[in-house]
């Protein structure tokens, strides 16, 4: 099972409108992919009303619209046409993101764009193009990882659709995606992925909690949340050990051996936790059993680092969403160093 939450949110497609320093070929495929997605859109209400469409699809979309209305009416997220449209893209992912790092470093290769700022990946609408980019990076001695993305936000530049790649999700997971991506539309800070994703992830989590309560449902299963947190913690601990290893002045061959040992240690610790605490649950087996490298660890932590700080901020304003968004905007307007200091002060303990 791929850890989907940390792969969500490629926004590079809209940036082709504003130019940049990347090659013309790269921007060309972004343009083609985004335009193709725009042409595929159709109003959700029309799909739901069409008896020739698959009943399961119509029901799933009908449920999504209840969450979409809740997002604007109760969570004070943007009230626009985003996620009131549907696009059948006829492939499992809308974008494939390519992450890369040097062999002995966890610092990602950065790609900078006018609106989103610098991000740690390049997005491709064609899987073959993503594999081609990955092959080139490998030839340069880089660690490379390709992550499929089922949905992304254009930060309000376009009316983002519900995409067919999201239709394998349950109703609640689709709702959480809507909350998350609309949070990005509400507010976004250039060049601060940790801030943006932690903020949107908090909105997703709290929004989902309120969405469940509004429908008279109990809170989400604690076990699933705990397992995800434990798995992420195992990966982050491995990153910390690798960071310390790469700081040492070791010969390349010795560094390579110790790097491989750290990844094997991650697998062993995963299997220990899986056997002793998860009753053998295999949800992350596919990820852990495929080749591991620095680039594959990059997405972890980007979505969660400051979530407790945003939870504390929400509590400070007594759960008032407009007041919360106003406070988030003030934080986002601070210089980056002051912003991080303010976030640390909000963190529990």
Tell whether the model's pLDDT for residue 9 goes beyond 50: no
Give the pLDDT score at 2. 35
Tell whether the model's pLDDT for residue 21 goes beyond 70: no
**104 close to 83: Cβ distance less than 8 angstroms:** no
- Which pTM was predicted? 0.83
For 180-219, the pLDDT digits (tens) are: 999 999 999 988 888 999 999 999 999 999 999 999 988 8
Segment 226-233 shows an average pLDDT of 89
Which has more confidence, 279 or 309? 309
**137 close to 98: Cβ distance less than 8 angstroms:** yes
Give the pLDDT score at 11. 42
For 35-47, the pLDDT digits (tens) are: 999 999 999 999 9
Averaged pLDDT score across all residues of the chain: 90
For 80-109, the pLDDT digits (tens) are: 999 999 999 999 999 999 999 999 999 999
Give the pLDDT score at 276. 94
Tell whether the model's pLDDT for residue 50 goes beyond 70: yes
Tell whether the model's pLDDT for residue 155 goes beyond 50: yes
Beta pairing partners, 149: 95
**Among residues 92, 168, 77, which one has the least CA distance to residue 130?**
92
């Amino acid at each position: 099972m791929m850890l989907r939450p940390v792969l969500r949110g490629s926004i590079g497609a809209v940036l082709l409108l504003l130019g940049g320093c990347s090659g013309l070929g790269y921007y060309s495929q972004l343009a083609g992919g985004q335009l193709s997605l725009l042409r595929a859109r159709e109003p959700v209400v029309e799909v739901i009303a069409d008896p020739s469409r698959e009943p399961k699809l119509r029901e799933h979309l009908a449920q999504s619209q209840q969450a979409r209305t809740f997002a604007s009416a109760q969570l004070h997220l943007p009230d626009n046409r985003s996620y009131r449209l549907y696009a059948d893209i006829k492939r499992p992912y809308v974008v494939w993101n390519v992450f890369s790092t040097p062999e002995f470093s966890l610092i990602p290769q950065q790609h900078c764009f006018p609106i989103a700022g610098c991000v740690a990946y390049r997005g491709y609408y064609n899987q073959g193009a993503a594999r081609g980019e990955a092959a080139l990076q490998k030839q340069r001695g880089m660690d490379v990882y390709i992550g499929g993305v089922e949905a992304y936000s254009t930060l309000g530049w376009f009316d983002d659709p519900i995409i067919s790649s999201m239709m394998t999700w349950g109703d609640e997971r689709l709702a959480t995606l809507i909350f998350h991506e609309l949070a990005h539309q509400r507010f976004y800070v250039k060049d601060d992925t940790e801030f943006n994703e932690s903020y949107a992830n908090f909105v997703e989590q709290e929004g989902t909690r309120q969405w469940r309560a509004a429908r008279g449902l109990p809170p989400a299963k604690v076990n699933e949340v705990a397992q995800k947190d434990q798995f992420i913690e195992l990966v982050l601990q491995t990153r910390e050990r690798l960071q310390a290893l790469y700081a040492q002045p070791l010969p390349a061959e010795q560094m390579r051996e110790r790097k491989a040992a750290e990844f094997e240690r991650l697998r062993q610790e995963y299997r220990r936790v899986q056997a002793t605490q998860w009753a053998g649950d295999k949800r992350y087996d596919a990820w852990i059993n495929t080749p591991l490298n620095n680039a594959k660890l990059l997405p972890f932590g980007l979505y969660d680092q400051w979530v407790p700080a945003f939870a504390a901020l929400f509590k400070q304003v007594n759960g008032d969403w407009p007041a919360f968004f106003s406070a988030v905007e003030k934080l986002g307007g601070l210089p980056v160093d002051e912003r991080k200091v303010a976030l640390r002060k909000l963190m529990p303990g």
